[in-house]
Amino acid sequence: SAEVIGASNLSGVRHVVLVLSGKGGVGKSTVATQLALALRQAGKKVGILDVDLCGPSIPRMFRVQDSAVHQCDSGWVPVFVDQEKSISLMSIGFLLEKPDDAVVWRGPKKNALIKQFVTDVAWGDLDFLIVDTPPGTSDEHISTVEALRPYKPLGAILVTTPQEVAVGDVRRELTFCKKTGLRVLGIVENMSGFVCPHCSECTNVFSKGGGEELAKYAGVPFLGSVPLDPQLSQSLEEGRDFIREFPKSSAFPALLHIAQQVSDSASQRSS
């Protein structure tokens, strides 16, 4: 039955982390991608499940948008981004005829697809499965949580930017986590300064510290601030090798630190 397959497809997955944001444009997919790379750098095997049905950007970030998804006995085989098979992806982007096809579906069909994504992908052994979600708290989020919960304890990372507005949006996410019983691993403040490509000095374009204040207010860990590195953003836009360029970026130390905290927090919980 589907239940049995779902259980066996997720049985080799040690930790599941959902990446959430209150609104679009805060760089949630970038953070999910960078977190996966930082975890890999720390020797972990990572899968990314992209349940953002309307704007699947993960395949493009890893330059695998033309990959086809194959079937095996236990479901879909995820797409590997490297020879070592240390990062695997599953995204709606792989299933669309043309990458620009927008997915305009009603709720039930979306929910059915998400359930299928969660249970029908043969992930194999993973230390972390990172789930990149659409902005906000919609049906998709509830479907994702409901589909994963029977199999694994779930943690969530909330991504915000330093401005007040984004912080207000994250409050709603915190309420969502409370209501659905999602454990908040912490808050990441993204784009919390601009790193000059010439002299590498970091300037705060927006007010600083919104994420940290919010974490205090909510009583959840503040995982760190990730600066905006224009060179890294450009490498993404131009489809250059983001994976290779990431360790050289100014965002890298911050993400390595965040990955370490996520690892520690996840392993404390399962011990």
Q: Is 209 annotated as a binding residue?
A: no
Length of the chain equals 271
- Residue where the block lists tokens 């919980």: 269
Sign, Cα dihedral of 64, 52, 148, 34: positive
Q: Cα–Cα distance between 159 and 125 in angstroms, integer? A: 27
Q: Cα–Cα distance between 157 and 21 in angstroms, integer? A: 9
- H or E element at residue 185: strand 183-195
Q: Is 23 annotated as a binding residue?
A: yes
Q: Is 72 annotated as a binding residue?
A: no
In terms of DSSP bridges, do strands 75-77 and 70-72 run parallel, antiparallel, or are they unpaired? Answer: antiparallel
Q: Is 199 annotated as a binding residue?
A: yes
Q: Is 28 annotated as a binding residue?
A: yes
Q: Is 224 annotated as a binding residue?
A: no
Q: Is 29 annotated as a binding residue?
A: yes
Q: Is 27 annotated as a binding residue?
A: yes
Q: Is 85 annotated as a binding residue?
A: no
Please check whether residue 210 is in contact with residue 166, taking contact to mean a CB–CB distance below 8 angstroms: yes
Q: Is 88 annotated as a binding residue?
A: no
Which residue ranges are tagged as binding site? 22-29, 196, 199
Which residue ranges are tagged as binding site for ATP? 22-29
Which residue ranges are tagged as binding site for [4Fe-4S] cluster? 196, 199
